[in-house]
Amino acid sequence: MTSVVSGSNRTIRIGSRKSQLALVQTHWVREELQKSFPDITFEVHTMSTQGDKILDVALAKIGDKGLFTKELELGMINQEVDFAVHSLKDLPTNLPEGLALAAITERENPADALVVSEKHKDKQIDTLPAGAVIGTSSLRRLAQLRHKYPHFTFKDVRGNLNTRMAKLDAGEYDAIILAVAGLERLEMSDRIHQVIPSDISLHAVGQGALGIECRADDTELISLLKAIEHPQTRDRCLAERAFLRVLEGGCQVPIGVNTEINGDTLTLKGIVASVDGQRLVKDTITGAAKDAEQLGSQLAESLRQQGAQEILDEILAEVGRDS
């Protein structure tokens, strides 16, 4: 194989979804790599994924493992692209044989954001009126917010960020919940009405970070991609992904996390909730950041013993009945 780092003749093909947010993220990765490796040509190739095409069905109904990644992964396996840029929260914790998570970039704010309609500009999430219609396509957000605010009405919302904003502004919703990171990357920070505190809603595994996936045997490319990896974000996200992997939940299962690193110490909070918000199992673990994946696995086992597995089994059985 031609050396990626020293060989100036190689063109590296980057796979991306076609959505506006995906392209912003992919071009950011391309520009960062171009700064480090000016002699290499990086080309962006776009693909539509199943999740981009099915916009009229709730994610929880169709199952979302690989929903936004499968076509990109096939592109890598078939040598059509060399690596793919994903929102890490969309990337399943078990990757196809022959592919590897090569790098994780520095995380943006992983919190959820409250975006409100014009008539509620004077409100925060705690002061929205009873019966307020809240849009979210995430069972994780739904379960945690139902627990805290049983007096709200929750309604599914799909589509890209612009589509969701248009539905909000047209009056279909009183507020919608979106990721802070996505709004910031699309320069829509002015629509963030409130950053939702973690004691109300723990964020999704990997939220706010980008995951770069490539063929596992392309060692020179993996070495190149490490140039844009952020070690603290990597350790935090590896702990979160191990937590999710042990619980065998996709991101459409109500599993939330929060991680912090202080010095060499990592603290991971995890939650598993029932969809109706009635039951929450929550715990925290602290240990050495170098043992990130082990900490995530240990926390998952702890929550299992506290009743999380029973909640997850019920949700999976319900999804099976509805499919």
Residue 159 has a pLDDT of: 82
Residue 253 has a pLDDT of: 80
Residue 252 has a pLDDT of: 65
Cα 134 to Cα 124: distance, rounded to the nearest angstrom: 13
Which residues, in sequence order, are CB contacts of 179 under 8 Å at separation 6+? 89, 110, 111, 112, 113, 203, 204, 207, 208
Q: Which CATH code fits 1-105+209-229? A: 3.40.190.10
Fold of 112-195: D-Maltodextrin-Binding Protein; domain 2 (3.40.190)
Distance of alpha carbon 194 from its chain centroid, rounded? Answer: 20
| Paired strand residues for 112 | 179
Cα 164 to Cα 157: distance, rounded to the nearest angstrom: 7
pLDDT in tens, 269-280: 999 999 999 999
Residue 69 has a pLDDT of: 80
Which residues, in sequence order, are CB contacts of 252 under 8 Å at separation 6+? 59, 60, 63, 64, 138, 139
Residue 63 has a pLDDT of: 44
Give the chain's length. Answer: 323
Residue 71 has a pLDDT of: 87
Cα 302 to Cα 2: distance, rounded to the nearest angstrom: 47
The number of helices, as runs of H, and strands, as runs of E, in the chain is 11, 13
Cα 156 to Cα 160: distance, rounded to the nearest angstrom: 13
Q: Which CATH code fits 230-323? A: 3.30.160.40
**What string of DSSP letters covers 136-162?**
---HHHHHHHHHH-TTSEEE---S-HH
90 classed as catalytic = yes
* Residue among 39, 52, 82, 90 flagged as catalytic: 90
Name the E strands within the chain: 11-17, 41-47, 83-87, 99-104, 112-116, 133-135, 153-155, 175-179, 194-195, 210-215, 255-262, 265-273, 280-288
Distance of alpha carbon 81 from its chain centroid, rounded? Answer: 22
| Paired strand residues for 287 | 266
Q: What pTM, to 2 d.p., does this model score?
A: 0.89
The residue to which tokens 């990644």 are assigned: 69
Mean pLDDT of 154-162: 89
- Strands 255-262 and 153-155 come out as unpaired
Cα 251 to Cα 243: distance, rounded to the nearest angstrom: 12
For 291, the token pair is: 């043992």
When mean pLDDT is compared across 9-18, 59-68, 119-128, 258-267, the lowest value belongs to: 59-68
When mean pLDDT is compared across 7-11, 67-71, 151-155, 315-319, the lowest value belongs to: 7-11
Tell me the one-letter amino acid at 244. Answer: L
Cα 247 to Cα 251: distance, rounded to the nearest angstrom: 11
Which residues, in sequence order, are CB contacts of 66 under 8 Å at separation 6+? 73, 92
Helix ranges restricted to H, 176-230: 180-185, 219-225
Going from N- to C-terminal start, the domains of the chain cover 1-105+209-229, 112-195, 230-323
Cα 303 to Cα 213: distance, rounded to the nearest angstrom: 29
Q: Do domains 112-195 and 230-323 have the same CATH topology?
A: no
CA end-to-end span of the chain: 45
pLDDT in tens, 99-113: 999 999 999 999 999
